[in-house]
Amino acid sequence: MMNEQPFQPRILIVDDNPAIHEDFRKILSGQGSGAAILGALERELFGESAPSSSRATFRIDSAFQGKEALDLVQKAREENDPYVLAFVDVRMPPGWDGVETLERIWQCCPEMQAVICTAYADYSWDDLMARLGQTDNLLILKKPFETIEVLQMAHALTQKWLLARQAKLRLEDLDRMVQERTRELAAANAQLRREIEERRKAEEQLKASEERFSKAFMGNPMPMAIQTCSDGRFVAMNPSFLELVGYSAEELLNRTATDLKITNEQWTSFSEFQKVRGRLYEIQRKDGSKRICKIWVEPVTLATGPCVLLIIEDVTEQKKLEDQLRQATKMEAIGRLAAGIAHEFNNLLTVIQGHAGLLCSGLNDPKIIHESATRIAQASQRAANLTKQLLAFGRKQPLQFKPVDLNAVIRNSVQNLCRAIGERYVLDVSFAEDIPCARADEASIEQILLNLVLNARDAMPDGGPISIRTGVLEADESVVSRNRDAKPGKYVWFSVTDKGVGIKPELLDKIFDPFFTTKDSGKGTGLGLAAIYGIVQQHRGWIEVTSEVGKGSTFRVVLPLWEGKSQVTITATPQLDKQASALPSGSGETILVVEDEEEVRNLACTALKYAGYKVLEAADGHQALEIWAQYPGQIKVLVTDVVLPNGVHGGELARLLTDKDPNLKVLYISGYSQRVVASEVPTLNETNFLPKPFDSQKLVEMVGKILTSDSASKPAEEVNK
């Protein structure tokens, strides 16, 4: 298989000064000191041992006037080798200036990244926005500029262009796959409609006159039979029925279905007054094979006495098609849910990436460094909470109901909410004083709040105020009569109000339906409010919605009070403990870390080495057994993921190694909850299980506790006792 050629971005330099072109070529082609400066900066930030990242090799072209630049861009686009980035000077007499040049270039190549280079304040940022109409692809470079500035912009903007292009291609592939699957579903639906139509015609034939009954019965393609009501014996069968069950008429005559084991005991005989419509049965043929059938039963009276007419439809293939359709519908729902999940995680990743960038920029201010580290920890905790909520949605993890102070949850979420909605929106928060704690799952409340605020933002595309309120409600009969989920009693609530487009009255009853959305195509999954409604119902609360077209909407979430003995306030954001920031120290004990995810394994090994332990690592159970054989009697603690590839899971690995060394301590880690993986490892408990995600301090802390404990070294049988 041939190796793919490395990506070499094309960069266009547009400037009327030849010396500027020469400067850019030296910087971007690696002839100057720029590569060395950038490498030195990387070593300063990441250390001498950090591997140097591969950087793109640029192809550089020059244009001395705007029209010449436009011709080059058009030619490159026709050759399917477009320019990724352009450095454009503002002043280029006597032709177009830099802004006009970009206007014309973006008309034919809107995805191209651009950097305006200027030593003068010819245009303000507002002027550029008004002229160009877009600024997502634009940066400004002030002259004189530093070499590192040019390199950073070139590498960052070319990488941005490449990622955007890859995303576009992936979306096109997904759209094609959806269209193909839609055509398949349409064909399956048409087949189902044809089968339903055939059944309808068969039912109409049964209503034919008595004179044509015998002919219709024997010639009907639907399997039919007649049984006596008294003992269920067959007295007549049509050829289709004989073909279905595989018996001859002589074998069936005056015998029952039970005698021949055609069906289970539920189908023995039918009463003369009993009608059955489309009931599913499993029929066993004479050769032992089984078919799924729908059976219709109609009472008839013959000369020999009361009987029933059996009409049978073999739906075995239809059921297979229905199962396929059901699976396709499930996958479509998962796809819509994935879009919503990506939206929420992108918000959290923005916080993490932004503050990580600040930490990597060489800041020396301890206050800012501590603030950024705190925000990264908070965003990571919210991501973990969101993961728990998704597991609860998939019935993998139950909600954790605790006493929650709504005021504290909202207060600690304000900063992140402001980041999420943007600068055009004003968040107006007002708290009721001394409200009781709600019985709630904290992560779920954060998620509901975020979804409602984002919906309020989307309802006001031009910006505006978003109000959040809290309060206490005494639900009387009037409240209960308006809300079917309400019960009399005392509740706490919070509401989110916007002054947006509002919701039409005829749509209010549909907004909580799954996949229903009033947003434009591609801008809403239709799962947000449906998920909120389901979560609130799990909390035994309800949602009230008031809306007026053109004036806005209010969503009020009502939750029951915490009825436990303590009124503990649960806050929504974790705080870093300065005194606990230092990891506990080991004494050189040997730890074996077994984890198939390389990034997680590297984190665990680094933390344990930093804490003073000797660390061995393995990617699966087989490799761990090989390492164990190389270090007999030296390994004191096994840290292993429960779910491992290649046949040996964590529980099996721990059993094999503790059989060899009963004093071996074991710490299990997993991305699933303890309840889910308990079937794989019956000895799991709070002292030897660490759920993902976890931080370095928690890992080292639990390893230290396990080393000093007695129970972790006991055999599995004794622990179970």
Output Rg (C-alpha) for the chain, integer angstroms: 35
Among 558-572, 588-602, 637-651, name the one with the lowest average pLDDT. 558-572
Residues 6+ apart with CB under 8 A from 216: 205, 206, 208
Q: Which pLDDT does position 558 carry in this prediction?
A: 94
What pLDDT does residue 204 have? Answer: 72
10-167 and 209-314 share one fold: no
Write out the DSSP string of 127-186: HHHHHHS--TTEEEEESS--HHHHHHHHHHHHHHHHHHHHHHHHHHHHHHHHHHHHHHHH
398-560 topology per CATH:
Heat Shock Protein 90 (3.30.565)
Q: What are the CA-CA distances from residue 149 to residues 28, 117, 252, 701 (Å)?
A: 11, 12, 91, 43
- When pLDDT is averaged across residues 373-381 and rounded to a whole number, the result is 83
Q: Once rounded to an integer, what is the mean pLDDT over residues 158-167?
A: 89
Distance CA 375, CA 369 (A): 10
Q: What is the CATH number of domain 209-314?
A: 3.30.450.20
Q: Is the pLDDT of residue 710 over 80?
A: no
Give dist(CA 27, CA 666) in Å, integer. Answer: 54
Q: Where are the alpha helices (DSSP H) in 459-593?
A: 477-482, 528-538
Confidence of residue 53 (pLDDT cuts 50, 70, 90): very low
The span from the CA of 658 to the CA of 720, in Å, is 15
Task: Write down the domain spans for the chain.
Answer: 10-167, 209-314, 398-560, 578-720
| Residues in CB range of 173: below 8 A, 6 or more apart | none
Number of neighbours of residue 572 by Cβ within 10 angstroms: 23
Of the listed ranges 115-129, 203-217, 560-574, the one predicted with least confidence = 560-574
Task: Identify the residue with better confidence: 330 or 348.
Answer: 348
> What pLDDT, on a 0 to 100 scale, did the predictor assign at position 525?
47
Of 18-27, 111-120, 560-569, which range is least confident?
Answer: 560-569
**Could you read off the pLDDT of 204-234 as tens digits, one per residue?**
765 555 566 777 778 788 898 888 887 888 8
Q: Answer yes or no: pTM beyond 0.85.
A: no
Domain range 10-167, CATH class: alpha beta
* Mean pLDDT for the chain overall: 79
CATH number of 578-720: 3.40.50.2300
d(CA 403, CA 577): 23
- In angstroms, the CA 466 to CA 426 distance is 6
pLDDT given at position 115: 92
| Contact assessment for residue 225 and residue 257, using Cβ atoms and an 8 Å cutoff | no
What pLDDT sits at residue 46?
55
Query: What are the structure tokens assigned to 72, written together?
Result: 């080059």
The DSSP secondary-structure symbol of 582 reads S
pLDDT at 658 over 60: yes
Among 14-18, 166-170, 382-386, 408-412, which is the least confidently predicted range?
Answer: 382-386
Q: Which residue has the higher pLDDT, 539 or 429?
A: 429
579-585's contacts with Cβ under 8 Å and 24+ in sequence apart are 580/697, 581/697, 583/607, 583/610, 583/611, 583/696, 583/697, 583/700, 584/611, 584/700, 584/701, 584/704, 585/611, 585/612
How far is residue 655's CA from residue 695's CA, in Å, rounded to a whole number? 27
Picking from 457, 456, 501, 495, the residue whose alpha carbon sits closest to that of residue 473 is 495
Average pLDDT estimate for 176-191 = 89
* Residue of 640 and 332 predicted with greater confidence: 640
